[in-house]
């Protein structure tokens, strides 16, 4: 039985670990927690400027390299790929690739994640919220698979291919976007004549509708003390505009409004209290390590 404080993040693409929960991962790794990442794909469907492909044969190689750079900055203890293919946004041709994540049976993906849960024995498991943050099909698929994996990993009747013993993690959290900050961004976009319903390189993200979805908040992680580490990790994802998320006007605004990462708690049943530590009630962690 693992007695070391351990956190497992289950995400979909290279950059999800930095742009979404990078503050949390940096914060806990600096508090002595073993932080692991399962990444379902290598981001093959992402748009990459040709300038970023020098020295790389494929987009997937570039994206994986960026993830490993970020993992080192964040202090992750290990990164594991499931080996599926990026499905792209809803309605894209990538959805129909035979290895696309969204085309795989839920039970198959969940079983693979469950093996890692049994091996790593994390007390805490973290993944996307039910709409995958911004309704990306892969994010939603990984949310669903992780919920099922969390359940079956602790079920003695579930026999995985590696015959790992059952292990039940103690908490399952869903990271969700700060709605207050998102609504502020929507208002600012409209003020400057930009359409918040058509965001992203392909104008296929509707920030307005996402901002209207409210999820309950059961835990808040303030990562201001490690914000610089999170920003350094984000810069590793240069092909995905990592630098633009930490510089210019957006950087200071994010520090003011969004230097916290928000979580819904799925397991155990929330008790109405907002936690400031995902390990609350489980372990007492050492203080934050500087440097």
Give per-residue pLDDT as tens, 41-79.
Answer: 999 997 788 888 898 999 999 999 999 999 999 999 999
Beta strands 124-128 and 78-84 are unpaired
pTM greater than the 0.85 cutoff:
yes
What is the per-residue pLDDT for 245? 56
Instruction: Answer whether residue 166 shows pLDDT above 90.
Output: yes
- Phi first, then psi: what are they for 82, rounded to 5°? -80, -25
Instruction: Answer whether residue 252 shows pLDDT above 80.
Output: no
**d(Cα 8, Cα 219) in Å, to the nearest integer?**
16
Mean pLDDT of 194-203: 80
Share of the chain above pLDDT 70, in %: 93
Evaluate whether 104 touches 144 at the Cβ level (below 8 Å).
no
Mean pLDDT of 137-160: 97
Evaluate whether 96 touches 53 at the Cβ level (below 8 Å).
no
Mean pLDDT of 258-280: 94
Work out the end-to-end distance of the chain between its first and last CA atoms, rounded to an integer number of angstroms: 31
- Phi first, then psi: what are they for 250, rounded to 5°? -65, -40
What is the per-residue pLDDT for 60? 96
What is the per-residue pLDDT for 290? 65
What is the per-residue pLDDT for 247? 45
What is the per-residue pLDDT for 249? 39
What is the per-residue pLDDT for 201? 67
Reported confidence tier of residue 254, pLDDT bands at 50, 70, 90: low
| Domains of the chain by start residue, with CATH | 6-176+215-267 (3.40.50.10320), 179-214 (no CATH)
What is the per-residue pLDDT for 183? 87
Task: Tell me which of 244 and 213 has the higher pLDDT.
Answer: 213
What is the per-residue pLDDT for 150? 98
Mean pLDDT of 181-209: 85
What is the per-residue pLDDT for 138? 97
What is the per-residue pLDDT for 242? 67
């Amino acid at each position: 039985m693992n007695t070391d404080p351990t956190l497992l993040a289950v995400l979909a693409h290279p950059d999800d670990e930095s742009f979404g929960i990078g503050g949390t991962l940096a914060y806990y790794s600096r508090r002595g927690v073993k932080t692991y990442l399962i990444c379902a794909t290598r981001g093959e469907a992402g748009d990459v400027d040709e300038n970023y492909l020098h020295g790389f044969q494929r987009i997937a190689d570039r994206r994986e390299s960026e993830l490993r750079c970020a993992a080192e900055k964040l202090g992750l203890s290990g990164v594991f790929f499931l080996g599926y293919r990026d499905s792209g946004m809803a309605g894209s041709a990538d959805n129909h690739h035979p290895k696309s994540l969204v085309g795989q049976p839920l039970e198959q993906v969940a079983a693979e994640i469950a093996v890692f849960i049994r091996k790593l024995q994390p007390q805490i498991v973290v993944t996307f919220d039910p709409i995958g943050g911004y309704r990306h099909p892969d994010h939603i698929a990984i949310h669903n698979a992780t919920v099922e994996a969390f359940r079956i990993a602790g079920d003695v009747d579930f026999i995985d291919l590696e015959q790992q013993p059952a292990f039940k993690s103690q908490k399952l959290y869903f990271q969700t976007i700060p709605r207050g900050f998102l609504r502020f961004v929507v208002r600012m976009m409209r003020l400057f004549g930009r359409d918040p319903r058509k965001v992203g390189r392909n104008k296929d993200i509707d920030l307005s509708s996402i901002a209207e979805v409210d999820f309950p908040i059961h835990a808040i992680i303030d990562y201001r003390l490690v914000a610089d580490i999170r920003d350094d990790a984000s810069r590793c994802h240069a092909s995905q505009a990592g630098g633009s998320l930490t510089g210019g006007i957006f950087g200071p605004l994010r520090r003011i409004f969004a230097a916290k990462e928000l979580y819904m708690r799925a397991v155990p049943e929330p008790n109405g209290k907002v936690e400031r530590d995902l390990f609350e009630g489980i372990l007492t962690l050492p203080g934050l390590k500087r440097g």
